[in-house]
Amino acid sequence: MNENKENVYGNPLVERYSSPEMSRVFSNRTKFTTWRQLWCELAKAEKKLGLDISDVQIAEMEANIDNIDFDAAKTYEKKFRHDVMAHIHAFGDVSPSARPIIHLGATSAYVGDNTDLIQLRSALELVRKKLLGVIANLKTFALEYKDLPTLGFTHFQPAQLTTVGKRACLWLQDFIMDYHDLEYVLASLNFRGVKGTTGTQASFLSLFEGDHEKVKELDRMVSEAFGFPRSLGVTGQTYTRKIDFRACAVLSGICQTISKFSHDIRLLANLKEMEEPFESKQIGSSAMPYKRNPMRSERMTSIARFVMSLESSPAFTAATQWFERTLDDSANKRLSIPQMFMGTDAVLRIAINVTSGLVVYPGVIAKRISEELPFIATENIMMEAVKSGGDRQELHEEIRTLAQEAGNRVKTEGASNDLIDRIRESDVFDLSDNDLTDLMKPEMYIGRAPEQVVEFINDEVDPLLQCAKDDIETGAELDV
């Protein structure tokens, strides 16, 4: 009896958050059509290398790659308790002349593992495009605000000034590290290829009557047919599950970066210095109409946490495989790997949306600077007074006393910071109003932040974006 989908659990990653293209990568149709493509390419290569396989058989197989009777496959699987054998029989039903040679010499891992690797590659390429989009958006934002002073925070306590653009470069740097990790994993991703039951290629060596070169060529031909220039030099029945972990570690790293970025935006939203995009009809709270909750950043934090929590699954799977293989990897892989990819895809979609429309409030930023800058400027004020003939030790004690008085006034009375007025009125400091005004210019306290932004983008961001300019995805519409 079929249940209406409203009556059964639905995966929110599929229904609400992940992109359709990422969901398709891990769909049953993609999986099983890839199995059939693998059987076709194996037969074609075996024919070219001399096995008795006809053009009619291959043509029949190729004509039915998309003609999958999923109900028939389910019936076969219930009978055989084996998913690969079920689909071999379902494929044979629609390709009867090819039935005798489907899966010839292969083991289940031939279709299962090679399909997993094809899916990993496709999914990583989708992640790569979205990651590039976030990097491109943050580059634009960093350059726009490279000169705008803002209060820095260490321990979420006021610290020396930085600039809004320089802070964005801290986010950018982590995303670029993630990008290089992803590129490395993609570039080093090898096919399992045609390796046989325990990875020795014994069945294929028998098919080709002991011809080692033909067996090696078969492996090369099938790998090349699927766009892999190399296959793994050695495997057991399966490819090493370290490959899964390496890919998932990249996803976890991206989500770590996303989470850090999201937390910063949420904190800045509370300070009213910066906000994620907020649409004209968007409701922040059902009870408090004035609220502008950072719901997109909160969602990024939430989904990123989920992805990071899943990283241990492929780690434990890789660590607990026995000898040439055990089957305790299968169910875990079906659960953890697609969800890690769909979760990462989801947070990157949101990140593209947020970084393309970040809102900055320079007036609030300037106000907060004005409240803290008198404290930050004390050393410069003291040094300037020394230049005018003052005693450094006497000045230090005076400014320490005045700063504590001003700080106490701010904390206990909720009053404004009047440290500069206190210094102006002090007999110990011989500084004019113009001197003090000049010393209170925020741009004097941002160091090389603007220059660092430009240098970082020129040296590290632009070369990366230029090399990948045709793959950048910079826009993302969110359903919710």
Give the model confidence (pLDDT) of 80-131 as tens digits. 999 999 999 999 999 999 999 999 999 999 999 999 999 999 999 999 999 9
Range 262-273 average pLDDT:
97
Looking at the domain assignment, is residue 250 inside a domain?
Answer: yes
Give the 3-state secondary structure of residue 278: coil
Rounded distance between C-alpha atoms, residue 46 and residue 222, angstroms: 10
Max intra-chain CA distance, the chain: 104
Phi, psi (rounded to 5 degrees) for 159: -135, -170
**Active-site residue list:** 155, 285
CA distance 188 to 99: 35
Quick count: other Cβ atoms within 10 Å of Cβ 212? 11
Cα 419 to Cα 441: distance, rounded to the nearest angstrom = 15
What is the average per-residue pLDDT within 130-158?
A: 97
Band the pLDDT of 1: cuts 50, 70, 90: very low
Are residues 162 and 300 both part of a single domain?
yes
Q: What is the pLDDT of residue 479?
A: 62
CA–CA separation, 394 and 384 (whole Å): 14
For residue 474, pLDDT beyond 80: no
When pLDDT is cut at 50, 70 and 90, the band that residue 153 belongs to is: very high
pLDDT of residue 286: 47
Q: Does one domain contain both 181 and 60?
A: no
Identify which has the larger pLDDT, 374 or 61.
Answer: 61
Residue 390 has pLDDT above 50, yes or no: yes
pLDDT for 283: 47
CA 343, distance to chain mean position in Å, is: 9
Given a contact cutoff of 8 angstroms between Cβ atoms, the answer to whether 23 and 343 are in contact is no
**Contact, 480 vs 16, CB < 8 A?**
yes
Kindly write down the DSSP assignment for every residue of 161-197, as one continuous string.
EEEHHHHHHHHHHHHHHHHHHHHHHHHT--B--S--S
Phi, psi (degrees; rounded to nearest 5) at 275? -140, 155
CA distances from 52 to 3, 49, 105, 157 (A): 47, 9, 13, 76
Q: What is the mean pLDDT of residues 197-206?
A: 96
Structural tokens at position 31? 């999986």
CA dihedral 81, 83, 89, 92 (to 10 degrees): 180
Question: What ranges make up the beta strands (E) of 336-435?
Answer: 359-360
Q: Per the domain annotation, does 368 fall within a domain?
A: no
| Beta strand residue intervals within 324-395, DSSP E | 359-360
CATH of the domain at 417: 1.10.40.30
Residue 476 confidence (pLDDT): 63
In CATH, what number is assigned to the domain containing residue 289?
Answer: 1.20.200.10
Q: Spell out a b/e string for 422-461, using b for 16 or more CB atoms within 10 Å of the CB, else e.
A: bbeebeebebeeebbeebbebeebbeebbebbeebbeeeb
Instruction: Looking at the structure, tell me whether residues 352 and 291 fall in a common domain.
Output: yes
Instruction: Categorize the per-residue pLDDT at 428 as very low, low, confident or very high, splitting at 50, 70 and 90.
Output: confident
The alpha carbon of residue 153 and the mean position of all alpha carbons in its chain are separated, in whole angstroms, by 26
Q: 316-351, pLDDT tens digit by residue?
A: 999 999 999 999 999 999 999 999 999 999 999 999
Specify whether the CB–CB gap between 300 and 348 falls below 8 A.
Answer: no
Q: Assess if residue 94 is contained within a domain.
A: yes
User: Is residue 385 within 8 Å of 395, Cβ to Cβ?
Assistant: yes
Mean pLDDT of all residues in 445-474: 94
Distance of CA 321 to the CA centre of its chain: 27
Give the E-state strand segments of 40-191 in sequence order: 149-154, 157-163
Please tell me whether residues 66 and 53 are part of one structural domain.
yes
Structure tokens, 106? 């292969």
pLDDT at residue 455, rounded to an integer:
98
Same domain, 402 and 418: yes
First CA to last CA across the chain, in angstroms?
Answer: 32
Residue with tokens 């992109």: 19
Q: What is the pLDDT of residue 473?
A: 80
Q: 435: pLDDT confidence band, cut at 50, 70 and 90?
A: confident
pLDDT of residue 98: 98
pLDDT at 309 over 90: yes
> What average pLDDT does the segment 23-31 reach?
97
* 255/176 same-domain check: yes
Alpha carbon 349 to chain centroid distance? 10
What pLDDT does 389 receive? 87
What is the structure's pLDDT at 388?
Answer: 84
Q: Structurally, how many domains does the chain consist of?
A: 3
Beta strands 157-163 and 149-154 are antiparallel
* Residues 354 and 264 reside in one and the same domain: yes
Asked whether the predicted pLDDT for residue 215 surpasses 80, the reply is yes
Q: Is residue 246 part of a domain?
A: yes
The residue assigned the tokens 């094809």 is 118
87 lies in a domain?
yes
Q: Average pLDDT in the 149-159 region?
A: 95
Q: Answer yes or no: are the C-beta atoms of 108 and 80 closer than 8 Å.
A: no
| Cβ-proximal residues to 265 (8 Å cutoff; 6+ apart), any chain | 274, 275, 276, 294, 297, 354, 358
| Residues 95 and 144 both lie in one domain | no
pLDDT at 284 over 70: no
pLDDT at 135: 97
Domain of 47, in residue numbers:
24-104
For residue 253, the model assigns a pLDDT of 98
Amino acid (one-letter) located at 40: C
Query: Is 466 part of any domain?
Result: no
| Mean pLDDT to the nearest integer, 226-241 | 97
Average pLDDT, the chain: 93
Residue 474 lies in a domain: no
- Alpha carbons 370 and 421: distance in angstroms, whole number: 13
pLDDT band at 282 (very low <50, low <70, confident <90, very high): very low
Please report whether residue 224 resides in a domain.
no
Whether 199 and 324 have beta carbons less than 8 Å apart is answered as yes
User: Are the beta carbons of 320 and 264 closer than 8 angstroms?
Assistant: no
93 and 172 both lie in a single domain:
no
Residue 432 confidence (pLDDT) above 90: no
Last residue of some domain: 360, 390, 422? 360
406 shares its domain with 266: no
| Cα–Cα distance for residue pair 313/251, rounded to 1 Å | 13
